Amino acid sequence: MGENNQLPLIRFEGITKAFGSNVIFDGIDLEVQQGETLVIVGGSGTGKSVLLKCLIGLLEPTAGRIFYRDREITTMTEKQLIGIRRNISYVFQLSALFDSLSVYDNIAYPLREHLALEEEEIASRVAKNLEMVGLPGREDLFPSELSGGMKRRIGLARAIAIEPEIILWDEPTTVLDPTNTKRISRLIVKMQKELNITNLVVTHDMHSAFLIADRIALLHDRVIAEVNTTQQVKQSPDSLIGKFVDGTMEGL
């Protein structure tokens, strides 16, 4: 698992997001260290996915600032954000593969968008990434021919194609059976160890969270109510995250 550096890779400062009169969160402070897997948990509708979308500029915070390597994302133009997205990949909740494109072209898509590569190099990267997620030789298949677990792994192969520094995971194990849930969780750990990727994961799947996380953050009552290592959560009887897991937390 990752080791903390002194300077955080990502920093949320006082982030507030509202849709009209509906305040999703109000003054979120959170740091993500390089090389770690930080998992954000919380009840449905607490804004976990909204926070990820604010990080890559798909949504604009109502107030507050977000930094990536001390560069403020929240003041960037769309053109500047394209450069940031070269280093940050987003794995959507249900993979969001292009139905009309083959597996090959789905994985090649970000390579063609962000990098000037010869087709031979693209083919090599596609093959390498399919091998990494345990699906070699599937280039010619289409999403309609894939199971849910396979789609999730193809989504990961696409995410790592551009060799990002950070992967954002939006409910990576939702609607998956236990076997595929464990497979995806192991792949998240594998990417962290072998590619030195920093993972920021939002999930309601606490079993997966404990398998993959270096630290867990609880989003509750519009703020980050607690951040602790998985070991601290398991050992502390007063942990809010522990109470959230066993359903004894007040206000849920």
- pLDDT for res 5: 47
For the chain, how long is the longest CA-to-CA vector?
57
What are the strands, taking DSSP E only, across the chain? 10-19, 22-32, 37-41, 63-68, 71-72, 88-91, 166-170, 198-202, 215-220, 223-229
- pLDDT category at 140 given cuts 50, 70, 90 is very high
- pLDDT category at 250 given cuts 50, 70, 90 is low
**With contact defined as beta carbons under 8 Å apart, do 139 and 127 qualify?**
yes
Q: Which of 60-69, 200-209, 240-249 has the highest mean pLDDT?
A: 60-69
Mean pLDDT of 140-157: 92
Strand partners, 72: 67
Class of domain 1-87+165-252: alpha beta
- Each residue's pLDDT tens digit, 58-101: 999 999 999 999 899 999 998 888 888 889 988 887 778 999 99
Percent of the chain beyond pLDDT 90? 59
Instruction: Give φ, ψ of 199 to 5 degrees.
Output: -110, 130
What are the residue ranges spanned by the domains of the chain? 1-87+165-252, 98-163
- Each residue's pLDDT tens digit, 10-66: 999 999 999 999 999 999 999 999 999 999 998 877 788 999 999 998 999 999 999
Q: Residue 193, Cβ neighbours under 10 Å: how many?
A: 12
Residue 250 or residue 247, greater confidence:
247
